[in-house]
Amino acid sequence: MQFPTNPLASRLGKAMLALAVGAGVAAAVYAHGDMVPQAVDTRTLPQLGEKWLPENPYTPESNAHKEALRIGSSAYNQNCARCHGLEAISGGISPDLRLFDKDCSGMADAGKKQACYKEMEEYFVATVRRGRVRDGRVYMPPFEGTLSQEAVWAIKSYIDTRRVQ
Ligand code: HEC
């Protein structure tokens, strides 16, 4: 099965490293047992329709940002924290999402930085929708059909607030 690859990792030639790390965590992930994804109530957010947007509409400048953070932090805790850690601080089993787009944050050119964040948002959404399944092993379950696009962008908004440099 095809799974999305981290554009930054490939760019930096770290893809093989990521694969090696991924293979190493498989046993630990299994120890978590079955994962029951939780549906998230997103009725209080602006509704986005069926078509997935290429970037997060709940920007810090938007009126929906505060509500996106409220919903996103709770949805993160219910669906992601067991692997990626409480408050997005990874215990080492799964990638630390505070560092997810760290290489963009360091870019001096504002235009390039925005383009980099956008690329990473597309990669984020693709990963969450499809999960990570390789050779029949579920490293991360697919959330397509469980989490709406509103929920996924709200989670991304929350993770953005957890960035560390
Ligand atoms: C069962 C454990 C598990 C759950 C639950 C889980 N993940 Fe993951 N996630 C992983 C693992 C393990 C990887 C790395 C997989 C690999 O090596 O291919 C990963 C990778 C990712 C990546 C790619 C990171 C990168 O730098 O390439 C993102 C983004 C991500 N997860 C977001 C989420 C979000 C958001 C949720 C909740 C909606 C979630 N994950 C739920 C285990 C999990």
pLDDT for res 93: 86
Between CA 143 and CA 128 the distance in angstroms is 6
Chain segment 38-60, per-residue pLDDT in tens: 789 999 999 999 999 999 999 99
Supply the pLDDT for residue 17: 39
Distance 99 CA to ligand 1 centre (A): 13
From the CA of 84, how far away is ligand 1's center (Å)? 7
Best CA proximity match to 64, nearest among 144, 127, 128, 158: 158
Q: What is the pLDDT of residue 25?
A: 44
Q: How many angstroms does the Cα of residue 94 sit away from the middle of ligand 1?
A: 6
Give the model's confidence band at 23: pLDDT under 50 very low, under 70 low, under 90 confident, else very high. very low
What pLDDT, on a 0 to 100 scale, did the predictor assign at position 35?
Answer: 58
The model's pTM:
0.85
**Domain range summary for the chain, segments of one domain joined by +:** 7-33+55-160
Q: Is the CB of 124 under 6 A from ligand 1?
A: yes
Please give the CATH architecture assigned to the domain spanning 7-33+55-160. Orthogonal Bundle (1.10)
Predicted confidence (pLDDT) at residue 22 exceeds the cutoff of 90: no
> For atom 27 of ligand 1, which residue has the closest CA?
6
How far apart, in Å, are the Cα atoms of 136 and each of 29, 88, 133, 142, 147?
A: 14, 26, 6, 13, 22
Q: In the predicted model, what is the mean pLDDT of residues 17-41?
A: 52
Q: Cα separations (Å) of 47 from 12, 30, 60, 79, 144?
A: 36, 35, 17, 21, 17
